[in-house]
Amino acid sequence: MFWAKGAFPRPRLTWADIREQARRVNWLGQLIFSVGVVLMFSSGWITLPGLNQFTNMMVFLVGGGIVTALSFLQDDFAPSPWIDPQVLRNITFLTSTSVLFLAMFVNSFSNILLPFYLQDYLPFSPGVSGLIVAAQSVVMLLLSPFVGRLASTPERRPQLVTIGLAMLLVSQIGYAFYGGQSGLGYVLWPIILNGVGMAFTLTPNNSITMGLVSPNLAGVAGSMNSLFRTIGMAVGISFATNFLYAQLPGVKHITRGLGTTYLHASRIVFYVAVGASLIALIINVWRTATSKSEM
């Protein structure tokens, strides 16, 4: 940080400049956004009367999501918006961030649910379970430089994202049909394919997203990209765990004694991931076809 302070150019702002910027910015939009995000994840400590755990979670998740979306709408028409209107009104940019949101939403399902399956339902130790789950990240780490090189050609990027989302879709089908078998090959193939799919999706999609805005808006676009990535992960984790336990009333710990009851509940959760993967794939195909027709 000290090195960067002297190495990188930065504007010299006076307190008067800072006060002027603070006076002009859209604090109402920031307030609405903050309320929306807090509401999305308030079901853990606020319970509405007459609602079960899953319904309560969905009320806050959907309600908070609507309020958060309204904050962007309010900001778009504010006299001094936080986000440049060129970004919010760029439909192709929002399409790309939606693909990212759905990919992170889907990916979080396996990240949060696999430990339940591996160490509570199957006989794997916590250490071995951790290594098995880590295979996805290792695959992403090894493939990302290769995919990044392929993505250096703009024409290839949509095709790479399509390949990645298709692999992500197949991996979720694999998770959905997990059974009681504990063979390592049986357990590992969806995890590895999931890692391949994310490697082929993230880097090219990020390149597409950042290429849709002018260089002077790269900071805003990067922040929006990070927001959709983080929200996708958080919503996915919250939804997957709540939906799983909503199908297992009275169950507090996953055990092999639950038998097919647990496997059925887990399968239904991953069916949602399959559906979300398919939607992301369709959006990407539409984006690709639309961009070609505009050329």
The Cα–Cα gap between 196 and 180 comes to: 25
Structural contact between residues 194 and 277, judged by C-beta atoms closer than 8 angstroms: no
The CA–CA distances, whole Å, from 243 to 41, 100, 248, 268, 276 equal: 15, 22, 9, 9, 15
Question: pLDDT per residue over 5-64, tens digit each?
Answer: 888 887 788 888 888 878 888 899 999 999 999 999 888 788 899 888 889 999 999 999
Quickly state the pLDDT bin for 292 (edges 50, 70, 90): low
Report, as an integer, the average pLDDT of 164-187.
91
The model's pTM: 0.86
- pLDDT (tens digit per residue) in 226-267: 999 999 999 999 999 989 988 988 888 888 888 889 999 999
Tell me: pLDDT of 293 over 60.
no
Q: Is the model's pLDDT at 295 over the cut of 50?
A: no
**In the chain, % of residues over pLDDT 90:** 52
The SS3 of residue 152 is: coil
10 alpha-carbon distance from chain centroid: 32
Contact 82, 29 (CB under 8 A): yes
Residue 223 confidence (pLDDT) above 50: yes
Which is it for the CA torsion 158, 162, 164, 165, positive or negative? positive
